[in-house]
Amino acid sequence: MPRLLRVSDLRGGVTLTMAEILEPLRPEADGVVWSILDLGEVVPGDQGGSEIASLQERVYASPTGLQVSFAELCTFAASVRQVVDGLFVGCADPAVLPRRHDTDPVIAERADCLVAAVDSSFWLVGGPDAVAERVDGRFRLVTEHDPATFPLRS
């Protein structure tokens, strides 16, 4: 993963929604296979939530997490109000998808795109230059970090 950005913007004292964070990842994010590697606490939205426990079970049942398309990830994001500790990784080649127990540097190295909710305090967004430029231009409180050394999970 070429670049990793920390997005610390708040709206009404709360971190941005996952749906807001995913918006600037297109079109690159559509061309990769995504895996949900971790899905901590999730606050359901007004229209969703009944399937969250089942989704968490499916994530933790597989050593490679739950594979989804970007469209499915966006549908999930639209159904939740807040994600506390979540790790979502996209790879162009599904054969290199990281495993749930891999270290953060290994996950960052294998990812073509990455989104992480860190303790509901901020988001990490990783990807190629075009994605990083859109993220940096869309949000106000953005800092860049070294993907090889910055922790992806709290």
In a domain, 101, yes or no: yes
Percent of the chain's residues with pLDDT above 90: 86
pLDDT per residue as tens digits for the range 53-86:
889 999 999 999 999 999 999 999 999 999 999 9
Q: What's the CA gap between 94 and 88, in Å, rounded?
A: 14
In a domain, 154, yes or no: no
pLDDT of 49 over the 80 cut = no
Determine phi and psi for 82, rounding to 5 degrees.
-155, 145
Task: Find the Cα–Cα–Cα–Cα dihedral 37, 98, 34, 104, rounded to 10°.
Answer: 60
Model pTM? Answer: 0.95
Q: How sure is the predictor about 47, in pLDDT bands with cuts at 50, 70 and 90? A: low
Burial of 127 (0-12, 13-18, 19+ CB in 10 A): buried
In a domain, 153, yes or no: no
**Total structural domains within the chain:** 1
In a domain, 151, yes or no: no
In a domain, 87, yes or no: yes
DSSP letter for 58, please: H
Neighbouring C-beta atoms of residue 40, cutoff 10 Å: 16
The confidence score (pLDDT) of residue 48 equals 59
Residue 153 sits at the vertex; the CA angle it makes with 60 and 109, to the nearest 5 degrees, is: 90
The confidence score (pLDDT) of residue 154 equals 82
The confidence score (pLDDT) of residue 139 equals 98
Domain that holds residue 117: 3-145
In a domain, 92, yes or no: yes
Q: How sure is the predictor about 137, in pLDDT bands with cuts at 50, 70 and 90? A: very high
In a domain, 150, yes or no: no
pLDDT per residue as tens digits for the range 4-45:
999 999 999 899 999 999 999 999 999 999 999 999 999 988
